[in-house]
Structure 1
Amino acid sequence: MKRKTSLPTLTKAEEEVMQIIWQLERCLVRDVIEQLGDPDMPHSTISSVVRILEKKGFVGHKAYGKTHEYFPIVTKEEYAQQGVKSLVEKYFGGSPKKLVSFLVQNDDMNLKELNEVLKLLDTNKKK
């Protein structure tokens, strides 16, 4: 599903929690804390971050009494697409070609990977 409006930017902490919610698909705050691997993390801190994510439109919840089960509303792909688009606009003048050129010139993309990208482009063109 394509969004007509852009998504708000996430802070580093919000993005870290969102990555876990994307991975788990449905979770409680305690599940997020467990995945963070920090048993001393206050429940209230993560709960606040999750509520902010809900306010920003990234997650929804289903209530079971006082317990809330959270689930992503925005897909990881939607957020990534917006992030890449923003990166290309900010740093490469809106040109994906300049981004690919940058990656190749800085040895971040080898010929095999470049060839795979070309194949993907060709496949998309045929669709």
Structure 2
Amino acid sequence: MANAPDVVLSDLQIALMRVLWLRGECSTAEVAEVLAQERGIKHTTVATMLTRLEKRGVVALRRDARQVYYVARVSESEVRRSMVSELLGSLFGGDAKALVSHLVDEAEIAPGDLEKLRKKLARGGREHE
């Protein structure tokens, strides 16, 4: 996957990318079919979004006759990391403790998950669960 430190996507772009992350290479029609069922999105909108994401380097395209296929060039974890970093910087002034405190205070983290988080922090956050 490409190095993508500044990939921030909209909700709809993430939905589109999830199709590619789950299925791998897909035609525009295949992505449009999934998003039409899930969100009522039209084929032309999906085609436009894919073209824009390709120009940004987020997806790559391959042409086969008249059919165009797309594949993700960035992983879900790269996008997640980039978007959390953006949120951390813009909303919490780079203070990770403030972000975690907010999540705990707002009950975004279930009580049972707090113990898992403590253990992960004790290990230095090295293991991916």
State the TM-score, normalizing by the size of structure 2. Answer: 0.81
Distance 2:6 2:119 in 1: 29
What is the root-mean-square deviation in Å for CA atoms of aligned residues?
2.5
Q: Are the equivalent residues in 1 in contact too, given 2:2–2:73 (CA < 8 A)?
A: no
Distance 1:28 1:35 in 2: 11
| Aligned counterpart, 2:25 | 26
More relative contact order, 1 or 2 (CA 8 Å, 6+ apart): 2
SS in 1 for 2:26: coil
State the TM-score, normalizing by the size of structure 1. Answer: 0.82
Which deviations, in whole Å up to 9, do the C-alpha atoms of 1:9-52 show, x marking residues without a partner? 334433332222222211001111221117x8543332111111
| Percentage identity across paired residues of the two chains | 26
Aligned length: 125
SS in 2 for 1:10: coil
Question: Where do 1:1-127 residues align within 5 Å?
Answer: 3=3, 5-7=5-7, 9-36=8-35, 37=37, 42-124=42-124
Q: Which runs of 5+ in 2 are unaligned?
A: none
Structure 1's 110 and 46: CA in aligned 2 closer, same or farther, altered over 3 A? closer
SS in 2 for 1:74: coil
Q: Which runs of 5+ in 1 are unaligned?
A: none
Q: CA deviation at 1:72?
A: 0.2
